[in-house]
Amino acid sequence: MIVLGISGLPQAQAYYLKRNPSVLKRDRRICQGMDSAAALVVDGEIIAAAAEERFTGEKATGAFPMAAIEYCLADAGVSRNDVDVIAHGFDYDSYRRFFVTDVHAFENAYAGATVVQALEESGWDRVAERFRRVEHHQAHAVSAFATSGFESALTIVSDGMGEIDALSVFGCRGKRYDRLHHQGIAASLGIAYSLVTRFLGFSFNSDEYKVMGLSAYGVAARHRSFTETFLSTQDGSVDVGWPKAALSEPAAGYPHAMAFLAAKFGMPPREPGEPVDERHADVAASFQQRFSEVLRDFVSGWLTRSGESSLCLAGGTFLNCLANESIGELPEVDRLFVPPASGDDGTSIGAALAVSGRGRVRKPYSPYSGPSYSSAQVLEAVEDTQSRAPGSLVATTLGLTDEYFARAADDIAADRIIAWFHGRMEFGPRALGNRSILAHPAGKRIKDRLNLVVKQRESFRPFAPAVLDEDFESLFDSRLHVPSHFMLMTARTRPEVVERLGGAVHADGTARVQVVTRERNEPFWRLLREVKRLTGTGCVINTSFNVKNQPIIAHPATAVAGLLTMSLDRLYAEGTVLSPAVAGAEVEATSSAL
Ligand SMILES: [Fe+2]
């Protein structure tokens, strides 16, 4: 059976903006259906998955994922008519009764018919008869458990909200998902985090990772008396202590919630562009600490109740790697799986797997499910650039030879910043070594230089390390029960190596580690082995290969353009070494200008 999975609500943001034309830029994502994506599942196995943003260039777009769909079909070599089922990661139609006072919103933004219509307008036939709706949290849960490799697990879903739920607990075994608990928007930890994000002057449903980064610089005890009462968990439920009306008027920027937080934190909301100071860091630290504690205690309680020791986590909340670390440290957790696309993009996979009839996938889950490009396609992109800007590049094609990996490692050891473009693009927000910018963690002023490359990045945001599996234990003190292959959990850096890992260690001593194994990513593993040979440590800084405010680069042409515009020293792409011509003097005599 061929199943196409879709996430997103194609009309929801446009409808929201039309209804609220004066909405502030930072509030443009206070709506459902962002992070649209498509996935193709054939006979229960994931063949392809990609987010729409990578094809359109609009970061975290909620637009109908037509380009992602076309990529998935082309990758699998199937036609539109070959698709047996089209599965969507929302089921608002089952909750239509909640829209009695706003039928217009239901019909124009939330109904499954909006997805059917978008496909029909794109020339698809027989859409309605092939269309299946999957409840949002069910889709999240399946995206995690079905790809975890576990026979049974407790699966927790936490996000802003789905149709009406913001927190769900599932007992999962084989194909069976028993919903053990669910709570609505009033208990939304995702919305609470987004509102603190907005209070700190950042964008709602977008910049939460900045608050997480900022939290390392603050004093968590400063607002402890408030956060302790504001977020709590008891008897298997979460309580968020918003006063009445706090969650009203979202399009106006939640004025009641902002006033409440201002009173409790004793300071006005920060306006975008204002300096970030220690008061903001204290708010971030206080809230993050309590957020992690409450999630940890909630999960702990449910593990005890259910008797489970295998745990899956899904939903945008679990992109918070500090919270994930504190959950992973629980003695009740034997095994933990967080899918790399734990945000709404991942519901495309979850919806497709939910209707595929298979239950769990057989192969170990791989996030490398996006488009790949051949060496010849890289050279085409180089030639195209050279024809438009003659002499701008120096290129040497070595293939994936030992020399190629040695040269890349040499560059890293020599403190050059390189882009690394290989294989299939990652699914989920993190670059995991196929579309990455890499650097030596102990490099001179490495964070400042990377911040210059990844232009205008806030100085408080951390960089993360990718580490050879064999070196993980000696560098990090992790009480995690499973290593993180997907950069979704922090670990504590061992004090004796903090200096060696320099730029990859955050202000609080944590690092958001990616453990790299040969089985999961051989080219990246080979590079790290070479880096270890030269530097003694199989570790590099790994940050996503993208221009500020743009999605991770998908195509070689964008990668080549990125080399020239981002002050990178080198681009290594599918066996070809590329340098900007201005740095050509540094390249050995074997190099030839194309
Ligand atoms: Fe979600």
Residue length of the chain: 594
At 350-363, the pLDDT tens digits run 999 999 987 889 88
- What does the block give as tokens for 557? 């042409």
160 C-alpha to ligand 1 centroid (Å)? 6
- The rounded Cα 501 to chain-centroid distance in angstroms is 24
340 C-alpha to ligand 1 centroid (Å)? 14
Question: Residue 79: is its pLDDT beyond 50?
Answer: yes
Which residues in 72-100 are b (16+ Cβ under 10 Å) and which e? Answer: bbebbebebeebebbbbbbbbeebeeebe
296 C-alpha to ligand 1 centroid (Å)? 20
590 C-alpha to ligand 1 centroid (Å)? 51
37 C-alpha to ligand 1 centroid (Å)? 13
CB of 38 within 8 A of CB of 5? Answer: yes
What does each C-alpha distance from 408 to 386, 414, 438 come to in angstroms?
Answer: 23, 10, 10
190 C-alpha to ligand 1 centroid (Å)? 9
495 C-alpha to ligand 1 centroid (Å)? 37
- Edge-to-edge order in the sheet of strand 490-493: 476-477, 490-493, 510-512
Give me the pLDDT at residue 527, please: 98
- What does the block give as tokens for 60? 């975290």
- Edge-to-edge order in the sheet of strand 393-397: 393-397, 576-580, 570-573, 418-421, 435-439, 539-544, 465-468, 514-516
* pLDDT band, residue 283 (cuts 50/70/90): very high
What does each C-alpha distance from 160 to 26, 287, 470 come to in angstroms?
Answer: 16, 16, 37
Give me the pLDDT at residue 515, please: 94
At 406-441, the pLDDT tens digits run 999 999 999 999 999 999 999 999 999 999 999 999
Give me the pLDDT at residue 33, please: 92
Q: Judging by beta carbons within 10 Å of its beta carbon (0-12, 13-18, 19+), is residue 549 exposed, middle or buried?
A: exposed
Give me the pLDDT at residue 104, please: 92
Nearest-CA neighbor of 453 among 560, 553, 548?
Answer: 548
343 C-alpha to ligand 1 centroid (Å)? 6
28 dihedral zone (left: phi>0; alpha: psi -120 to 50; beta):
alpha
**Sign of the Cα pseudo-torsion (388, 390, 394, 396, in order):** positive
- DSSP class per residue in 58-78: -TT--S--HHHHHHHHHHHT-
Question: Residue 589: is its pLDDT beyond 50?
Answer: no
Q: What would the mean pLDDT of 230-237 be, rounded to a whole number? A: 97
Give me the pLDDT at residue 194, please: 97
Which residues in 444-470 are b (16+ Cβ under 10 Å) and which e? Answer: eebbebbbebbeebeebbbbbbbbbbe
Q: How far apart are CA 29 and CA 198, in angstroms?
A: 11
Q: Which of 71-75, 101-105, 124-128, 382-386 has the lowest mean pLDDT?
A: 101-105
Question: Residue 583: is its pLDDT beyond 70?
Answer: no
Backbone angles phi, psi at 216, to 5 degrees: -65, -20
Q: What would the mean pLDDT of 537-547 be, rounded to a whole number? A: 94
Question: Residue 588: is its pLDDT beyond 70?
Answer: no
Q: What would the mean pLDDT of 304-326 be, rounded to a whole number? A: 96
Identify which of 99-108, 406-415, 481-490 has the greatest average pLDDT.
Answer: 406-415
Longest distance between any two alpha carbons in the chain, whole Å: 73
**Sign of the Cα pseudo-torsion (564, 568, 573, 575, in order):** positive
140 C-alpha to ligand 1 centroid (Å)? 7
- What does the block give as tokens for 75? 């990758």
434 C-alpha to ligand 1 centroid (Å)? 26
148 C-alpha to ligand 1 centroid (Å)? 18
Q: How far apart are CA 523 and CA 518, in angstroms?
A: 8
Give me the pLDDT at residue 207, please: 93
Give me the pLDDT at residue 572, please: 98
Give me the pLDDT at residue 455, please: 55
Q: How far apart are CA 214 and CA 208, in angstroms?
A: 10
162 C-alpha to ligand 1 centroid (Å)? 6
Give me the pLDDT at residue 456, please: 64
Question: Residue 391: is its pLDDT beyond 70?
Answer: yes
Q: How far apart are CA 181 and CA 231, in angstroms?
A: 18
Question: Residue 127: is its pLDDT beyond 80?
Answer: yes
At 553-572, the pLDDT tens digits run 999 999 999 999 888 999 99
Question: Residue 295: is its pLDDT beyond 70?
Answer: yes
294 C-alpha to ligand 1 centroid (Å)? 19
157 C-alpha to ligand 1 centroid (Å)? 8
CB proximity list for 363: less than 8 A, separation 6 or greater: 45
Average of per-residue pLDDT values in the chain: 93
State in Å, rounded, how far the first CA of the chain is from the last one. Answer: 47
Nearest-CA neighbor of 49 among 5, 109, 93, 111?
Answer: 5
Backbone angles phi, psi at 322, to 5 degrees: -70, -45
What does each C-alpha distance from 312 to 34, 136, 315 come to in angstroms?
Answer: 23, 16, 11
Q: What would the mean pLDDT of 105-111 be, rounded to a whole number? A: 94
161 C-alpha to ligand 1 centroid (Å)? 6
Q: How far apart are CA 245 and CA 515, in angstroms?
A: 44
Question: Residue 587: is its pLDDT beyond 50?
Answer: no
Backbone angles phi, psi at 253, to 5 degrees: 85, 30
For 394, half-sphere exposure in the C-beta direction (CA atoms, 13 angstrom radius) is: 16
3-state SS class at 176: strand
Backbone angles phi, psi at 90, to 5 degrees: -145, 150
Q: How far apart are CA 308 and CA 442, in angstroms?
A: 41
Q: How far apart are CA 388 and CA 376, in angstroms?
A: 19
Q: Which of 127-141, 238-252, 497-511 has the lowest mean pLDDT?
A: 497-511
139 C-alpha to ligand 1 centroid (Å)? 9
CB of 122 within 8 A of CB of 279? Answer: no
- What does the block give as tokens for 107? 């019909």
* pLDDT band, residue 477 (cuts 50/70/90): confident
